[in-house]
Structure 1
Amino acid sequence: MRTYDLAIVGTGGIAAVHAADVARLGGRARIGAVVDVDPDRLRAFTARLAELGLPEPQGYPDLDSLLAERRPDLVDLCTPPGLHAPQAIACLTRGLTVLCEKPPALSLAEFDRIAAAEAAGGGRFATVFQHRFGSGAANLRRLVGDPRLGDPLTAVCHTLWYRPDAYFAVPWRGRWDVEGGGPTMGHGIHQMDLLLSILGPWREVVAVAARRARPTDTEDLSGALVTFASGAVASVVNSLLSPRETSHLRFDLDHASVELTHLYGYGDGDWTVTAAPGHEQEVAEAWAEGPTGRPSGHGAQLSAVLDALDAGRTPPVGTAEARDTMELVAAIYASAFTRRPVGCGEIGPGSPFYERMEGPGAPWPAVRTGAAA
């Protein structure tokens, strides 16, 4: 079994989650290098790796220093969103494989530059959308269109979370220019990606967005109706204003309703399947045939990434899939701020929403000094 050399860039909270998952991989990967501009954070993170039983990595003050000395098998970007595109491009132009936390870029234009660097440099790029990888999601993807459950008709995708004002004291949070958006971009994107992975291509969006309560330049609430190529319609709500936090998805098919209720990750027990009258046995049998036992999470996706590297394939979720999700996010903002429906493929070069998620600007004043209008 090959042991892959992994470099983690950024040592915040999500990097600690990634490191813990590496420790559970049974030697499939080792963290050979860690990058952070803050030497105190770098030392603290290295100490945490030791507590996990992982060998001490080489520390670097910036990505350029790392790339000047090493060629990791996998570069794991755990930095704030505004750094993702330039760091990914620096790695991809050297032909490296990149796993990047969400959102992978601040705009569709930035994302397309990542894809261009991937194509030109021979590297490979994947975005962390870990909810695709639980067994429940794999089971439902297998059954959409199966005559026992039928075709999808309608769906619900609600990310109802709570973040107090103090959460936005971190300088890059709540700003268009360095975070790219609010809960639509940075929080609900996980559930929306799972929605798309199950229902397939979307066709049109009608949306609203608002800043209701938080000291941000971005929205703290959005809602949308998304029509899919299949004709299915989904309601999508993204909120940071909801004291009873939940992540809830529901898929109503011809003969069954399939529901997922969790917060930041799910297991098999978080799924509920309700058959339409007269279809109980066939629905139960169909669901029981599927995979079980794999919770969603970064570890599940990291394992899938290493499986892909073993097979010489592009790791999941690649640029084409991630771009679909980014385009849906951009369309929600475009529809909300222009007050009209936005179709898939409509936002391209020449559209203000291609260069920036807020387009020409949100319909409310900025609250942070120096932030983008």
Structure 2
Amino acid sequence: MTESTSPAIRRAAIVGTGGIATAHAAALSELAGRVELVAGVDIDPARAAAFAEKWSITRTYPDITSLLENEELDLVHICTPPGSHVPLAIACLRAGVTPLIEKPPALSLAEMDELAAVQRETGVPVLTVFQHRFGSGAIQLRSLLERGVLGRPLIASCDTLWYRDAEYFSVPWRGNWDIEGGGPTMGHGIHQFDLLLSILGEWDEVTAVAGRQSRPTDTEDVSAALVRFANGAIATVINSVVSARETSHLRFDFEHATVELDHLYGYSNSNWTVTPAGPDQTITRAWADGMGNNTSGHTSQIEAILDALDTGAAPGVSLAAARSTMEFVAAVYASSFTGRRIKRGDIGPGDPFYASMLGSGAPWLAPAEGAGVPA
């Protein structure tokens, strides 16, 4: 008789114990028995100690080097400000440990390609946090679309209308091109339009505008884009941190139905609405048939990662998938700041928007404020 063996309990650490680390720690706690949070890293000892006490972590470290030298790990959750994501992830790759990087995974396409080069060199995968892909509604929508139930995608809209006040931007790295990499296009709406892209597939071209309407930032506080997809669908994407009535809204109009999602920072099945194009309720029944019950939080994505690791499958979201989303971000900035229509593939080495989302410079910044812009 062959004894069955249970999958190994994975060992995880969190680097950066600020606000978003709480979501990661809570998700790991919910998945206890499959993964153990064994260590935390922060340059602030008091903050690290408080985080460790809250989440019953026995060891903390002041830097990634100390962590990797002293711990045997399967996953390192990178929850630091965006400007440090890539060097931290590369340290993990060179130590043979998979990094899971919070959004945005990098500051530029150049950094994404640097990560890809080290990934190829080490053979260790880079994973990125785009948890909205893993809610049951998104999974069901992709399935119905792939099976042809909904017909061809025609038009869509993706609105991330959030509100962040001056106190929010008092944190020094927020609203800063060099550290945060961009405004709501880079750091807020990215979750919603990543979900949009995961449904509609490869985008083909972008025309966009961005502005600094009222917030005390170097980055934009609003942007709006018109997008054409390779399959012919057309979408609008709006990102804002100046909208008092906050909402995250996606709408997809297919040949046979409209599918809508209304939520704020995460969704469940109840946040979705399906409206058939006619009286036939086939699509309504198909939507309900086999629907899971995952919300779109970090727990769902990390659970999917653990499932993939246990079965030997490739876990998501891969660096290649994240690069498509980051290329879309770069295209929004490039179109906004140059007035050009940007085709997929236009932004490569030598283009200013390849090295920095600020590219050739935001029109509201004086030359001195655009310091660090590639020549």
Q: Shorter-normalised TM-score: what interval?
A: over 0.9
Aligned residue in 2 for 1:163 = 164
What aligned pairs does 1:121-200 form with structure 2 within 5 A after superposition?
121-144=122-145, 146-200=147-201
SS at structure 2 position matched to 1:313: coil
Aligned residue in 2 for 1:302 = 302
Aligned residue in 2 for 1:336 = 336
For residues 94 and 33 of structure 1, the distance between their equivalents in structure 2, rounded to whole angstroms, comes to: 16
Runs of at least 5 residues in structure 2 that lack an aligned partner in the other structure: 1-5
Aligned residue in 2 for 1:236 = 237
Tell me the C-alpha RMSD between the 2 structures: 1.5
Runs of at least 5 residues in structure 1 that lack an aligned partner in the other structure: 51-55
Q: Among 17, 20, 41, which residue is 2:23 paired with?
A: 17
For residues 366 and 304 of structure 2, the distance between their equivalents in structure 1, rounded to whole angstroms, comes to: 41
Q: 1:293: Cα distance to partner? A: 1.1
- Residue 287 of structure 2 corresponds to residue 287 of structure 1: yes
SS at structure 2 position matched to 1:274: strand
Equivalent residues of 2:209, 2:225 under 8 A apart: yes
Percent identity over paired residues: 59
**TM norm structure 1:** 0.95
CA shift in 2, pair 1:95/1:285, >3 Å: same
For residues 367 and 251 of structure 2, the distance between their equivalents in structure 1, rounded to whole angstroms, comes to: 36
* Higher alpha-carbon deviation: 226-235 or 92-101: 92-101
Equivalent residues of 2:247, 2:262 under 8 A apart: yes
CA shift in 2, pair 1:371/1:216, >3 Å: farther
Equivalent residues of 2:337, 2:360 under 8 A apart: no
Q: 1:70: Cα distance to partner? A: 2.2
Q: 1:94: Cα distance to partner? A: 2.2
Equivalent residues of 1:15, 1:78 under 8 A apart: yes
For residues 126 and 145 of structure 1, the distance between their equivalents in structure 2, rounded to whole angstroms, comes to: 24
- Which AA in structure 1 matches 2:15? V
- Which AA in structure 2 matches 1:355? A
CA shift in 2, pair 1:109/1:274, >3 Å: same
Q: 1:147: Cα distance to partner? A: 4.0
Equivalent residues of 1:73, 1:97 under 8 A apart: yes
- Which AA in structure 1 matches 2:133? R
- Residue 37 of structure 2 corresponds to residue 36 of structure 1: no
Q: 1:168: Cα distance to partner? A: 0.7
For residues 221 and 366 of structure 2, the distance between their equivalents in structure 1, rounded to whole angstroms, comes to: 13
Paired residues, what number? Answer: 367
SS at structure 2 position matched to 1:71: coil
- Which AA in structure 1 matches 2:17? T
Aligned residue in 2 for 1:109 = 110
Per-residue displacement from partner, 1:164-198 (whole Å, max 9, x unpaired)?
01111111100110000000000000001000100
CA shift in 2, pair 1:88/1:367, >3 Å: same
For residues 307 and 152 of structure 2, the distance between their equivalents in structure 1, rounded to whole angstroms, comes to: 31
For residues 64 and 346 of structure 1, the distance between their equivalents in structure 2, rounded to whole angstroms, comes to: 37
- Which AA in structure 2 matches 1:244? R
SS at structure 1 position matched to 2:283: helix
SS at structure 1 position matched to 2:96: coil
**TM norm structure 2:** 0.95
